[in-house]
C-alpha cells in the first residue's frame, strides 16, 4: 500500500505551490496556494482564489486562512492510546492493534451490532464510500450514520419524496442570474456561502426580486427586496399561506401541474380548509400583506427559484416545511427550465457526495437503498459477497447516541466529526460517550470528542489528502494533494484498509490509492440515482468538475428535470399534510424566549479547525447571544455581559449582543463553541419523524444575566466537563 510522503521525505517543507480546494463549505472554492516571503525574511503560505466555474476565483475569509489550521502546531502528529487515564503517544502498530481489539472484543461479546461508526461530510467521496463498506463488511454492523443527518436529512428526504431524487441544487449556479424572483428561506448565504453572493447580486441587477425569510435581519436579508422575519419553526405554515394566495389569485401553472405532477387536487382541498391567512400571519409573526406580497412576487415572475437551508430544515417538521416550499415550486411550474428550480443549500465541503455513497444508516452507494433487494444484490456483486453479508438499516446519528446510552452500542469509531459538540442534547451525549467500552477517533486535532477517546488516530488534512468532493450543485471535483503528510498522519482511507486487513477482511480493502477506490465507487454507483460511472480522475483533471448523474452514456448536465422527474412515472409529487403546530416549539412562562442558532462568517461548525486559525479566531473569540434590546431590557441584561441560557435540556453561557435585527421573542447563538458555551447543551432531542433531523433551530429557553459570576462562564467555556469515568479533560 502506498503511503503519503512524510515531511522528511519531502525535504521537510511544502511541495511546489499547487491548486487545492477549501476544506470548509459546500461551494468548494478552488485555491492557489503559494509560498510567500514574509517581511521578516521567513516563508509563509498565501492562498489566492483560483478561477473555476463555481467560485469564479473568489475566496471568503475562511478560504483565505484555511491553511493556518492545516499547518498549526496543534495538528496531531502521532497516534495516541489512553493509558492510566491519559492519552499518550503510541506507534501506529500499537494503535491499530488496540483499535482492532476493541472492535473484535465488542463484536465477540455482544455481537457485531455492538460496534458503531460515525462519519462526516468533510470526508472525501472515496473515504465516505469506504467507511460504509468497512462498517458493513469488515465490522458487519448495521450501525453507521454521519453528521450530515443534522444537515441534509430534511431537504434530502423531501427532495427524494417530491422529485424522486435529491441533488442539492436542481440547477447550475450560472443559472441564478436568470431568475426573476428568488426566495431564500432559512439561509444566510452572505455568511455561509459568501462567494455565491455575486450570483444573486447579478440576478438583482437583472431586475430580480429577492425575498428572505429569516427571524433575523441578516446580511443576506440586507441584500433583499422583502424580508419576512418569521417566528422560528413556522415556515411550513408560512409556505402554505403563500400557496393559498397563489391559488386565490390564479398564479398557478395548470399545464405544468397536469402534465408533470401528482397530488394537486388533495393539496387544493387541504388549502381550502386551511386557517385563514390572517391567522397564519399571526402564527408566523409576520404581517398578512408581506405574505401576499411574497406570493405575488414569486407567482407573477416568469422565472424563479426557491432555496432553503438549515433555518427551515433543522426543525422537528423540517421535512414537511421543505415540502411546503416544494409545493410552491411545482404549483407555479418553476423547475426544469432556465432561471428556475429548487435548491437545498448543502452545507459541508462534501455534504453532497457524503450523502450518496453509503455512510448513511439506510443507504448503499450510488444513493441505493439498503432495504431494496435489487440494490443489495447489485452492491453485493460489486463487493464480491453474498447479499446476506450486508446488514440491514441502522439508525440516525442521534439515535446511535441513545443506543450507546442504553449500552447496545459498546464501541464507536468516529471519523470526521465532533459529535460531543454538534449533537442536540449534549448532556446525554456526554454521558453516552463516557459509557463506551471503546471510543476511537480519527481527526486532525484533539477535538472535544477526541479528548474523550481511548484511541486517537491522526489523519491528513485537505492539503495532504487526495480525493473527490461533490459541491452543492452536484459537481464532482478532484482535490489533489499539495503538501506532504504532517508527522505520522495517515489518510483516512488507509486507516480503514489497514483495520479491515487486521480484522481478517483484507479482500475488498486492498486499495493503493484514492483513485483505485474511486474506480470501485464508480462501479458501485453505476445505474444508481447518483451515478458517477462516467466520471474519471482523468476527466476531472481536464474539466472543471463534472455534474452527476453521469452514467455510461456520459450525461453530466447541470440542469435537472427538464423532461421528467425521477419517480417511475416521471411525475413530481405534491404533499398535503394536515396543518399541525408542534407543541415542542411552544414557549411557556418558564421558558419564554425561542432560542435559534446558526453560523457566523469566520468560524466553521464546531470550530475545531477555525479556532486554530489565529486570524479567524481573532474575529470572534467567544459565543454570543443575539437579543433584542427590548427583550434584554425586560430581564435586565446589558450589552456584552455573560448570560445563562437554560432550556429543559440544559444550560450554556454566552456574551449578550443586543441588536434590533432580531425578533423580540427570539434569541440567536452561534454553534461554533464547545464546553459551557455550547448551544447544544440547551437544544432538545426531538427528531423529525420523517428524516430524524433534530429540531435544532427552535428551543424554548429562559435567559438570565450572570453578571455576578462571569468567571463561572469563562472557566466553563474553556474546559470540558469531566465525565463520570474520569476520562479526559482539557486543562
Ligand X SMILES: Nc1nc2c(c(=O)[nH]1)N[C@H]1C(S)=C(S)[C@@H](COP(=O)(O)OP(=O)(O)OC[C@H]3O[C@@H](n4cnc5c(=O)[nH]c(N)nc54)[C@H](O)[C@@H]3O)O[C@H]1N2
Stretch that binds Mo ion, among 143-151, 161-169, 175-183, 404-412 (CB under 5 A): 143-151
Work out whether 347 is an interface residue with Mo ion (CB under 5 A): yes
The binder of 27, among ligand SF4, ligand X, Mo ion, none, by C-beta within 5 to 8 A per type, is ligand SF4
Residue 122 CB, shortest distance to ligand X, in Å, is 4
Work out whether 598 is an interface residue with ligand X (CB under 6 A): yes
Residue 55 CB, shortest distance to ligand SF4, in Å, is 6
Rg of the chain over all Cα atoms, to the nearest angstrom: 25
Beta-carbon contacts of 538 under 8 Å, excluding residues fewer than 6 positions away, are: none
Stretch that binds Mo ion, among 34-42, 148-156, 296-304, 699-707 (CB under 5 A): 148-156
Question: DSSP 3-state helix, strand, coil percentages of the chain (rounded to 5)?
Answer: 35, 20, 45
The binder of 59, among Mo ion, ligand X, ligand SF4, none, by C-beta within 5 to 8 A per type, is ligand SF4
The binder of 233, among ligand X, Mo ion, ligand SF4, none, by C-beta within 5 to 8 A per type, is ligand X
| Burial bucket for residue 222 (CB in 10 Å: 0-12, 13-18, 19+) | exposed
Cα distances (Å, whole numbers) of residue 254 to 185, 240, 246, 249, 260: 25, 18, 12, 13, 10
Nearest one of 366, 398, 364, 412 to 137, comparing CA atoms: 364
DSSP state of 243: H
**Which H helix or E strand runs over 181?**
strand 181-185
Beta-carbon contacts of 282 under 8 Å, excluding residues fewer than 6 positions away, are: none
In the complex, residue closest to ligand SF4 by CB: 63
The binder of 418, among Mo ion, ligand X, ligand SF4, none, by C-beta within 5 to 8 A per type, is ligand X
Site size toward ligand X, by CB under 6 A: 63
| Burial bucket for residue 636 (CB in 10 Å: 0-12, 13-18, 19+) | exposed
Work out whether 535 is an interface residue with ligand X (CB under 6 A): no
Q: How far apart are CA 212 and CA 151, in angstroms?
A: 20
The only residue of 150, 298, 532, 547 in contact with ligand X, by rule CB under 6 A: 150
Residue 32 CB, shortest distance to ligand SF4, in Å, is 12
Work out whether 151 is an interface residue with Mo ion (CB under 5 A): yes
Work out whether 492 is an interface residue with ligand X (CB under 6 A): yes
DSSP state of 324: H
Give the full edge-to-edge strand order of the sheet including 475-479: 467-470, 475-479, 546-547
Binding site for ligand SF4 (CB under 6 A): 22, 24-25, 27-29, 55, 59-60, 62-63, 193-195
Site size toward Mo ion, by CB under 5 A: 2
The mark string for 661-680 relative to ligand X (x by CB under 6 A, - otherwise) is -------x--x-------xx
Reduced to 3 states, what is the DSSP secondary structure of residue 145? strand
Reduced to 3 states, what is the DSSP secondary structure of residue 717? helix
Nearest CB to ligand SF4, comparing residues 147 and 193: 193
The only residue of 90, 169, 281, 442 in contact with ligand X, by rule CB under 6 A: 442
Residue by residue, DSSP assigns 475-527 as EEEEE---SPPSTT-B-HHHHHHHHHHHTT--TT----SHHHHHHHHHHHHTT
Stretch that binds Mo ion, among 94-102, 138-146, 346-354, 484-492 (CB under 5 A): 346-354
Residue 408 CB, shortest distance to ligand SF4, in Å, is 37
Nearest CB to ligand X, comparing residues 151 and 331: 151
Residue 120 CB, shortest distance to ligand X, in Å, is 5
Residue 194 CB, shortest distance to ligand SF4, in Å, is 5
Residue 147 CB, shortest distance to ligand X, in Å, is 3
Nearest CB to Mo ion, comparing residues 153 and 327: 153
Establish how many alpha carbons lie within 13 A of residue 28's alpha carbon, considering only the half-sphere containing its beta carbon: 33
E-strand spans in 246-296? Answer: 261-262
Nearest CB to Mo ion, comparing residues 224 and 422: 422
Residue 148 CB, shortest distance to Mo ion, in Å, is 7
Beta-carbon contacts of 507 under 8 Å, excluding residues fewer than 6 positions away, are: 384
The binder of 188, among Mo ion, ligand X, ligand SF4, none, by C-beta within 5 to 8 A per type, is ligand X
The binder of 215, among ligand SF4, Mo ion, ligand X, none, by C-beta within 5 to 8 A per type, is ligand X
Stretch that binds ligand X, among 213-221, 383-391, 506-514, 701-709 (CB under 6 A): 213-221
> 708 and 599 in contact (C-beta within 8 Å)?
no
Cis ω before 549 (30° cut-off from 0): yes
Nearest CB to ligand SF4, comparing residues 22 and 658: 22
Nearest CB to ligand X, comparing residues 565 and 696: 696
Count other Cβ atoms within 10 Å, centred on residue 38. Answer: 9
CA-CA-CA-CA dihedral for 298, 303, 309, 313, to nearest 10: 60
Residue ranges that bind Mo ion, judged by CB under 5 A:
151, 347
Residue ranges that bind ligand X, judged by CB under 6 A:
25, 120-123, 147, 150-151, 185-188, 191-193, 213-216, 218, 230, 232-233, 235, 309-312, 314, 347-348, 415-419, 421-422, 442-445, 447, 459, 492, 596-599, 601, 603-606, 608-609, 668, 671, 679-680, 683, 696-697
Amino acid at each position: 500500500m502506498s503511503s503519503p510522503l512524510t515531511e522528511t521525505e519531502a525535504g521537510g517543507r511544502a511541495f511546489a505551490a499547487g491548486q487545492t480546494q477549501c476544506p470548509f463549505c459546500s461551494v468548494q472554492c478552488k485555491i492557489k496556494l503559494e509560498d510567500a516571503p514574509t517581511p521578516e525574511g521567513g516563508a509563509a503560505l498565501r492562498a489566492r482564489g483560483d478561477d473555476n466555474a463555481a467560485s469564479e476565483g473568489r475566496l471568503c475569509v475562511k478560504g483565505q486562512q484555511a491553511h493556518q489550521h492545516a499547518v498549526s502546531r496543534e495538528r496531531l502528529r502521532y497516534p495516541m492510546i489512553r493509558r492510566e487515564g491519559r492519552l499518550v503517544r503510541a506507534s501506529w502498530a500499537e494503535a491499530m492493534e488496540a483499535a482492532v481489539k476493541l472492535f473484535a472484543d465488542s463484536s465477540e461479546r455482544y455481537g457485531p451490532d455492538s460496534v458503531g461508526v460515525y462519519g462526516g461530510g468533510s470526508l472525501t467521496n472515496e473515504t465516505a464510500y469506504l467507511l460504509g463498506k468497512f462498517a458493513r463488511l469488515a465490522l458487519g454492523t448495521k450501525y453507521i450514520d454521519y453528521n450530515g443527518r443534522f444537515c441534509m436529512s430534511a431537504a434530502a428526504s423531501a427532495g427524494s419524496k417530491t422529485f424522486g431524487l435529491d441533488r442539492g441544487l436542481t440547477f447550475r449556479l450560472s443559472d441564478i442570474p436568470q431568475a426573476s424572483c428568488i426566495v431564500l428561506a432559512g439561509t444566510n448565504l452572505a455568511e455561509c456561502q459568501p462567494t455565491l453572493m455575486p450570483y444573486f447580486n447579478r440576478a438583482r441587477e437583472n431586475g430580480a426580486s429577492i425575498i428572505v425569510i429569516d427571524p433575523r435581519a441578516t446580511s443576506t436579508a440586507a441584500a433583499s427586496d422583502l424580508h419576512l422575519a418569521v417566528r422560528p419553526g413556522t415556515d411550513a405554515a408560512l409556505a402554505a399561506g403563500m400557496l393559498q394566495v397563489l391559488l386565490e389569485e390564479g398564479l398557478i401553472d395548470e399545464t405544468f401541474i397536469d402534465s408533470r405532477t401528482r397530488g394537486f387536487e388533495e393539496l387544493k382541498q387541504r388549502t381550502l380548509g386551511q386557517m385563514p391567512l390572517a391567522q397564519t400571519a399571526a402564527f408566523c409573526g409576520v404581517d398578512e400583506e408581506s405574505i401576499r406580497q411574497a406570493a405575488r412576487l414569486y407567482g407573477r415572475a416568469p422565472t424563479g427559484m426557491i432555496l432553503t437551508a438549515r433555518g427551515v430544515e433543522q426543525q422537528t417538521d423540517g421535512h414537511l416545511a421543505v415540502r411546503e416550499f416544494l409545493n410552491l415550486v411545482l404549483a407555479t411550474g418553476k423547475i426544469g427550465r432556465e432561471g428556475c428550480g429548487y435548491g437545498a443549500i448543502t452545507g459541508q465541503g462534501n455534504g453532497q457526495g457524503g450523502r450518496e455513497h453509503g455512510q448513511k444508516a439506510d443507504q448503499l452507494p450510488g444513493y441505493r437503498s439498503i432495504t431494496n433487494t435489487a440494490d443489495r444484490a447489485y452492491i453485493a456483486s460489486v463487493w464480491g459477497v453474498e447479499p446476506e453479508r450486508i446488514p440491514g438499516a441502522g439508525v440516525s446519528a442521534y439515535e446511535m447516541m441513545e443506543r450507546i446510552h442504553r449500552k447496545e452500542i459498546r464501541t464507536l469509531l468516529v471519523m470526521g466529526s465532533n459529535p460531543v459538540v454538534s449533537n442536540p442534547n449534549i448532556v446525554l451525549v456526554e454521558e453516552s460517550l463516557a459509557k463506551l467500552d471503546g471510543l476511537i477517533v480519527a481527526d486532525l486535532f484533539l477535538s472535544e470528542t477526541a479528548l474523550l477517546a481511548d484511541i486517537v488516530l491522526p489523519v491528513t488534512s485537505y492539503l495532504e489528502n487526495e480525493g473527490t468532493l461533490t459541491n452543492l450543485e452536484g459537481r464532482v471535483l478532484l482535490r489533489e494533494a499539495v503538501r506532504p503528510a504532517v508527522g505520522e498522519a495517515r489518510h483516512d482511507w488507509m486507516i480503514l484498509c489497514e483495520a479491515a486487513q487486521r480484522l481478517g477482511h483484507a479482500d475488498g480493502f486492498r486499495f493503493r490509492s484514492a483513485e483505485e477506490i474511486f474506480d470501485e465507487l464508480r462501479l458501485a454507483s453505476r445505474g444508481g440515482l447518483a451515478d458517477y460511472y462516467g466520471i474519471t480522475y482523468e476527466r476531472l483533471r481536464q474539466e472543471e468538475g463534472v455534474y452527476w448523474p453521469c452514467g455510461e452514456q456520459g450525461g453530466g448536465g447541470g440542469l435537472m428535470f427538464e423532461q421528467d422527474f425521477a419517480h417511475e412515472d416521471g411525475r413530481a409529487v405534491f404533499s398535503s399534510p394536515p396543518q399541525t403546530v408542534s407543541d415542542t416549539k411552544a414557549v411557556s412562562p418558564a421558558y419564554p424566549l425561542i432560542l435559534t442558532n446558526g453560523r457566523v462568517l469566520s468560524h466553521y461548525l464546531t470550530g475545531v479547525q477555525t479556532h486554530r486559525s489565529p486570524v479567524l479566531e481573532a474575529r470572534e473569540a467567544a459565543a454570543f447571544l443575539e437579543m433584542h434590546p427590548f427583550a434584554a431590557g425586560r430581564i435586565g441584561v446589558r450589552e456584552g455581559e455573560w448570560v445563562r441560557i437554560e432550556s429543559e435540556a440544559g444550560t450554556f453561557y454566552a456574551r449578550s449582543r443586543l441588536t434590533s435585527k432580531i425578533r423580540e421573542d427570539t434569541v440567536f447563538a452561534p454553534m461554533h463553541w464547545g464546553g459551557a458555551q455550547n448551544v447544544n447543551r440547551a437544544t432538545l432531542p426531538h427528531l423529525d419523524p420523517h428524516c430524524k433531523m433534530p429540531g435544532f433551530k427552535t428551543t424554548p429557553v429562559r435567559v438570565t444575566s450572570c453578571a455576578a459570576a462571569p468567571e463561572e462562564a469563562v472557566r466553563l467555556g474553556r474546559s470540558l466537563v469531566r465525565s463520570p469515568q474520569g476520562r479526559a479533560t482539557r486543562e
